[in-house]
Chain A
Amino acid sequence: MNRFTWADIRRNSPIMPFIGNAIPDRSDPTSYDARRTLFAAVAGLLAAVLALTLVGLAHPPDPDSASAEGATGEQETALAQWEALWANIDRRGEAALQPERSDSSLRSAGDTVFMRYRNLWRDVDETTRRAFQMAALTNDPDAKIARLQPLATAGPAPIRSRALAEIARIRLRQWALDDARANARQALAIPGLEPRFMADAYFILGYAALEARDLDGAETALAEAVARDPGFWDARQTQLLVLSRQLGQPRQATAACINRTRLMIENLSALPTLAQDRTQFRDIADRFAAQSARANPAFSLLSGLGYLWAGDRDKARAALAETGKARGALPRRCEALLVAKAEELLARGF
């Protein structure tokens, strides 16, 4: 009777191929100690990597840290503008942020469709006016564009820009975003165009970018629109929407965070003036109060200011107190700045 040992099986069995030694050969003490040391070192390294990863996850690096030197200048500018904003508010209240209205006839309603200015088109000749009116009365989009096209190619700059802006508006209504952008750019290329006409073209660019989910593009174009016409209600309202979405993004530079919050405060203050209705403060504050549930100190600060300027001090205090609780959504320095401002407002005991 044959007797087999494990050594025989390991040596002879074709169905048990061993790759390396699964069990260390204890007959060689030097090899065993060396492996043990190696395993211990690898385990130590892995533990260190794990610890670093956990620390990194708990404290995400500031996006500015990678390009700290480049960002410093932008941060300083952003901080200076932030301080100037609050110095203005401290001196004159929220009225400091209301846009100057050189034209008393300015009205917000319908400004997207160029009704901002009274009698702007009073001196237009009858033939041109009738052509625009017939285009407005036409409901078929292609027929509308066919009526407007001749007006977009010849004539004075304001007429050409108005026709191009109207064609761009029709394209936006059709969801033809690229065509709308092309028409708006054509309008902007007209030499000697007044800033208030340019504002409409920039607004179309911003709106089209927003629809295309290009938030950076929308932010840039809407800033241009508001800069050229501070009384442009729809541009400001859309800018507020875009900025709030940008501030909700997970990663952004400190300077961008400060600038966006500042612009939102400016818009918050400007909108009720343009709408001639202070309930806008409360509406906007309510909206940001709902959003601050996502733990964003910028929204809590905005909400608090909205309630404060609407006269609801209890809600203002509650919203401002939330600012300190929300951490981690924005760059650390920006967050600290917003929390400090909220605490300063609370300490004043309004």
Chain B
Amino acid sequence: MDHDELTNSAFLDIATNLLAVILIVTLFSLVAVQHKTHSSTHPAAQPNPTLRFVEPQRDLFPPFSTFFFVTSDRVARWDQTAVIDALLANPQSLSGTTPQGRYEWLPEVLITRDIDTFQINFFLDHPAVLNQEPPFSETMADRLIADLTQTYQNARTAPVFIVYPSGMETFTLLYARLQNAGLRFRWFARRADEPLYLGRHPAQFTDHAIYW
């Protein structure tokens, strides 16, 4: 009887230890599986090798720009020549207006870098643009993209879109079409009262604005 009890006890010990080992192994396996599904080694978390991150490089000789304002269902080309004509007509005046808005010629910085260093702000007159421009339509989008494609091919001039909050919906449609056409373009979101700031200064070459 004692012998039988000892045998049973030994068997139970072995069974208990075995069970403990199985439990530990199961526990570690579960943790390992969970870790795998929550870590970057999981196949779903692996980066797609066909997708490449292209490091932006500074373009030493970038394309020329043509600016567009996108606001309240309107896409208006900026009449930059009107600003230049106004500046030449009143060389002493630091500000003025054009049919599209108001410009401010900022004073020269104390330390100049180049002979043509300048800074200018242009505040868009939203109501004026609403009156001047027709609502942007599908037909106009097709025409605009055909025109931009030709301009890039002929003069290497690419569009820059200044998008105000009220124009974001219009630009969403235009963005897809620009992408599909394979056009080179840039766009910047601006608050309604935020001006378009242009200039030639060293900061242009130390931030991402220069990356065309």
Contact = CB atoms under 8 A, between A and B. Distances in A.
Interface string B172-211: 0000000000000000000000000010101011100000
Interface string A114-157: 11011111101000111011111111110100000000000000
A224 to B, nearest CB: 18
B63 interface: yes
B156 interface: yes
- Interface size range on A against B: 35 or more
A140 B65 CA distance: 8
A109 interface: yes
A8 to B, nearest CB: 74
Interface in B152-166: 155-157
A39 interface: no
Interface in A169-192: 169, 172-175
A134 B88 contact: yes
A238 B117 CA distance: 25
Nearest to A138: B84
A115 B202 contact: yes
A173 B62 contact: yes
Given A137-B120, A138-B84, A121 B112 contact: yes
Most chain A beta-carbon neighbours within 10 Å: one of B65, B88, B91, B200:
B200
Nearest to A159: B115
B145 interface: no
B84 A137 contact: yes
Contacts of A107: 202
A158 B80 CA distance: 29
Contacts of B204: 110
A133 B118 contact: yes
Interface string B108-125: 000111111110100000
Contacts of A169: 61
Interface string A12-27: 0000000000000000
Contacts of B63: 173
Nearest to A147: B84
B87 interface: yes
A161 B91 CA distance: 25
Contacts of A232: none
Nearest to B200: A136
A106 to B, nearest CB: 11
Interface in B94-146: 111-118, 120
Contacts of B118: 133, 136-137
A291 interface: no
A137 B117 CA distance: 10
Contacts of A109: 202, 205-206
Contacts of B200: 113, 136
A234 interface: yes
A169 B64 CA distance: 12
Contacts of A121: 112, 114-115
Contacts of A173: 61-64, 156
Interface string B55-70: 0000011111111000
B83 interface: yes
A162 interface: yes
Nearest to A114: B114
A140 B198 CA distance: 15
12 contacts: A110-B206, A113-B114, A118-B111, A119-B111, A133-B118, A136-B200, A137-B118, A138-B84, A139-B66, A139-B157, A166-B116, A175-B156
Given A115-B113, A137-B198, A174-B156, 20 more contacts: A110-B206, A112-B60, A115-B117, A118-B113, A120-B112, A120-B114, A121-B115, A124-B115, A129-B116, A132-B115, A136-B116, A136-B118, A139-B80, A141-B155, A141-B156, A166-B116, A169-B61, A172-B61, A173-B64, A207-B60
Interface of A: 107, 109-110, 112-115, 117-122, 124, 128-130, 132-141, 143, 159, 162, 166, 169, 172-175, 207, 234, 238
Interface of B: 60-67, 80-81, 83-84, 87-88, 91, 111-118, 120, 155-157, 198, 200, 202, 204-206
